[in-house]
Structure 1
Amino acid sequence: MTTENKMKYAKLVPVMLCFFAMGFVDLVGIASNYVKADLGLSDSQANIFPSLVFFWFLIFSVPTGILMNRIGRKKTVLLSLVVTFASLLIPMFGDSYGVMLCSFSLLGIGNALMQTSLNPLLSNIIPGDRLASTLTFGQFVKAIASFLAPYIAMWGAVQSIPTFGLGWRVLFPIYMVIAVFAIFFLSATPIEEEEADSASGFKACLKLLGKPFILLSFLGIMCHVGIDVGTNTTAPKILMERVGMSLTEAGFATSLYFIFRTLGCFSGAFILRAVSARLFFLVSVCCMLLAMAGLFAFHSLAVIYICIALIGFGNSNVFSIVFSQALLAQPDKKNEVSGLMIMGLFGGTIFPLLMGFASDAVGQDGAVAVMTVGVIYLLFYTLKIKH
């Protein structure tokens, strides 16, 4: 390995730690279920929490793309880590509805800043032909934090060892310490950035949505995150409704989803180097479509677990492929395109709200129906992938 390659991989380590910190946002799925149980909320009320987290992507993503042109990508990532640190600190002082709303709001703001700036920062280290596979590996690292969250929450909820009265909320200080470490590690790592994009106005960023492929990619990101957050929050509810599990037992469904999403990201990092993005995307969407059909048709525990696993594997590489396709379509507007794509994570607000109302009306089949619409759109998007 050459000295240049060694330096490149050394810079990847702190960036990948930031991807791990990016995964903290997925704790909202299991956390909303615990808050629902603690405060006696309905599905639609509890789903406000993940919806609130992803609402901030609509507000902050494009301004973050503009901010990157002013202060650089690395400084924007560091700012996002500081906001994330604050969001994880707040729940240590209480678990009231207002406290959790404030925490999840800051978590969403920090994640919007991070997802918008971290992906293009990675493009300063990795060349375009390997960007999709490296982004997928970053999603693999992110997924590790995602599937650990339910286990840490369950450990805190039932552990006999003292957790300083935090219970399931012990996951917040644990992740907070990692966020602090990521701040110092990235600060100490020199990364040479590209020159700022020429366009720097809000209107110029939104104007890119007038390009058909960018708009289709934006909607694809919305559907991806809607399915992601939807499965994250709904999987335990399906088991509680159909199999009669308790919340603690059903929490494994969220971990199962992220385990297979993690496996999908890891394998995808290598598969995408051997097969076309279009073919792999089609296989991934077919896995999710099969899973949705299974959730409608069967109510047995084993089949539900298989379906959740298929959704996790199928949805694992959708973001990386759509995001990289959008960046490659507009290589001279990476900051702006990144802001728009991350704004698409607003789908994490729309889908849970619709799923909450649908499940209150007709049970969890209603929530599954909403996710199925997103899967069908991704099947259509497959036709638009160029290579």
Structure 2
Amino acid sequence: MDMTNNKLNYAMLAPVMLAFFAMGFVDLVGIATNYVKADFQLSDSVANLLPSMVFFWFLIFSVPTGMLMDRIGRRKTLVISLLVTTLSLLIPMVAYNYTMMLVSFALLGIGNALMQVSINPLVSNLIRGDRLASTMTFGQFVKAIASFIAPIIAAWAAFQCDDWKILFPVFMIVAIAAAIWLSLTKIEEEKVLGKPSTFGQCFSLLGNGFVFLSFLGIVCHVGIDVGTNVTAPKVLIERLGMDLSAAGYATSVYFLFRTVGALTGSFILVKFSAKKFFIISVVMLTMGILGLIFAFNQWFIYMCVGLIGYGNSNVFSIVFSQALFHKPEKKNEISGLMIMGLFGGTIFPLFMGLVSDAMSSQIGAIVVMLGGAVYLLSFIRKVKY
């Protein structure tokens, strides 16, 4: 009986994993920002409004999404997120200008906020116990595949077809497929006991010290993630004079190592404690960020970006699962609060753009990222197992 249930759970997990792949579409914002900047001759500060527009909506929609899940369920919320993502990818195909890209990225952020809040608690309905963190990490591996191929598709399309935007219809087809498959999949969810939580009850959980510190950990993780995504090509352009198509592969290097990190992490976390792996991960990403300050050789820059990618690949899953285990009776609310931390993807690029413009150097952006790494180092003592 248990074997049958396990097979059934893994069959149900397949469309959820395709949704994880669709979740990775949000990371196209890094390479897209560089192309939009070049197309419309924008400054760093103005161009960085694009990733900020994506991640701003995590602040607004994350907690309401947790409340929405209490009412309509996690699977239906995830389907809605895929439909919003589909619409966001359609817009650049209809009209391409800076204003419409802001609208497109806003919808991409809204859809991704709905997706990230609903998908991890949905996984917890299918995978339980100590395998939850490793399964969530495997989902991050699937997500990272989309993140990895986005700049490759954009560069290929720019070179072969003189139109980097071909990646939008490619990703849109996948989002539609994921929405249909998930709509046809029945997943038994936990029933909400009592009345659904209110805004006040959700935000009151931030008064719990561990929940609040975990929230800040997510802020820093995402800030470093988006920051590296946006800044790595700029470092190559600034220091080595590379053109954007070639420099854009730095983003692929980051996501390649993040993909490898998520895949290996999904196995490592089954055998070893999350605390030990978290220490190794945070030390690696800190070394990578420090290295970028002094890197003026292409391969050294790639090595630093790779260290950041591998180190940052498992931070989200470990911090998120620790928060869920801390308050298991409040999964929906905790999920909403943790995903609200993805607002770090707005805060970090804004400060990075401002400091870079002020210093006339990408070192300013790297220093802002280093601040996030220092916080994650301090969070090590809070990881409980």
Task: Give the TM-score range, shorter chain.
Answer: over 0.9
Deviation at 1:349, TM superposition (A): 0.2
**CA offsets, 1:166-216, max 9 Å, x none?**
x11111110000011001111111100001254510110000000000000
Deviations 1:351-383 (A, max 9, x none): 000000111121100000000000000001011
Separation of aligned partners in 1, 2:23 and 2:129: 22
Q: Residue in 1 aligned with 2:177?
A: 181
- CA gap of 1:197–1:50, structure 2 versus 1, over 3 A, is farther
Q: After superposition, where does 1:34-53 map in structure 2 within 5 Å?
A: 34-53=35-54
Q: Letter of the aligned partner of 2:35 in structure 1?
A: Y
Partner of 1:360: 357
Partner of 2:379: 381
Deviation digits for residues 314-369 of structure 1 (CA, Å, limit 9, x no counterpart): 00000000000000000000000000000000000000000001111211000000
Show structure 2 runs of 5+ residues with no match: none
**Which position in structure 1 is the counterpart of 2:279?**
282
SS state of the match for residue 345, structure 1? Answer: helix
Between the aligned partners of 2:261 and 2:347, the Cα distance in structure 1 is: 25
The aligned amino acid for 1:382 is I
Give the SS at the match of 2:382: coil
Give runs of ≥4 in structure 1 deviating > 6 Å: none
**Equivalent residue, structure 1, for 2:146:** 145
Alignment check: 8 A CA contact 2:233 2:251 kept: yes
- Cα distance in 2, alignment partners of residues 322 and 3 from structure 1: 31
Corresponding residue number in structure 2 for 1:87: 88
Deviations 1:40-83 (A, max 9, x none): 00011100000110000000000000000010000000010110
**Match in the other structure for 1:224:** 221
Aligned to 2:165: 169
Aligned to 2:186: 190
What's the counterpart of residue 204 of structure 2? Answer: 207
Is the partner of 1:193 in helix, strand or coil? coil
Pairwise CA distance, 1:156: 1.2
Counterpart-to-counterpart distance in 1, 2:321 and 2:255: 22
- Per-residue deviation, residues 88-146 of structure 1 (Å, max 9, x unmatched): 01100121111101100000000000000011001000003111000000000000000
* More displaced stretch, 109-118 vs 287-296: 287-296
More displaced stretch, 194-203 vs 296-305: 194-203
The correspondence of residues 21-36 of structure 1 with structure 2, limited to 5 A, is 21-36=22-37
Partner of residue 12, structure 1? 13
Shift of 1:298: 2.6
Distance in structure 2 (CA, Å) of the matches to 1:302 and 1:144: 22
Q: Distance in 2 between matches of 1:274 and 1:27?
A: 33
SS in 2 for 1:35: helix
Query: Is the CA contact (8 Å cut-off) linking 2:130 and 2:270 kept in structure 1?
Result: no
CA contact (8 A) 1:128 1:328 kept: no
- The residue aligned with 2:302 is 305
Give me the whole-angstrom Cα distance separating, in 2, the residues matched to 1:341 and 1:85.
Answer: 24
Structure 1 partner of 2:243: 246
The amino acid of 1:23's aligned partner reads G
Aligned partners of 1:336, 1:329: CA distance in 2, in Å?
A: 12
Contact 2:31 2:230 survives alignment (8 Å): yes
Q: 1:73 to 1:197 in 2, by over 3 A?
A: farther
The 5 Å alignment of 1:125-136 reads 125-136=126-137
Equivalent pairs counted in the alignment come to 382
Alpha-carbon distance in 2 for matches of 1:25, 1:308: 19
Structure 1, unaligned runs of 5 or more: none
Q: Is the 8 A contact 1:236 1:250 kept in 2?
A: yes
**Identity across aligned pairs (percent)?**
64
Partner of 1:121 in structure 2? 122
Aligned-residue offset at 1:296: 1.5
In the aligned structure 2, how far is the partner of 1:60 from the partner of 1:4? 34
Query: d(CA) in 1 for partners of 2:384 and 2:184?
Result: 39
| Offset of residue 6 of structure 1 | 1.2
After superposition, the CA RMSD in angstroms is 1.0
Q: Quick check: 2:231–2:362 contact (8 Å CA) kept in 1?
A: yes
Say if 2:98 is the partner of 1:97: yes
2:270 maps to which of 273, 276, 285: 273
Aligned equivalents of 2:220 and 2:192: distance in 1? 30
Contact in 2 for aligned 1:197/1:332 (Cα 8 Å): no
1:318 aligns with 2:315: yes
Secondary structure in 1 matching 2:270: coil
Residue 35 of structure 1 contacts residue 46 of structure 1 at CA under 8 Å; is this kept in 2?
A: yes
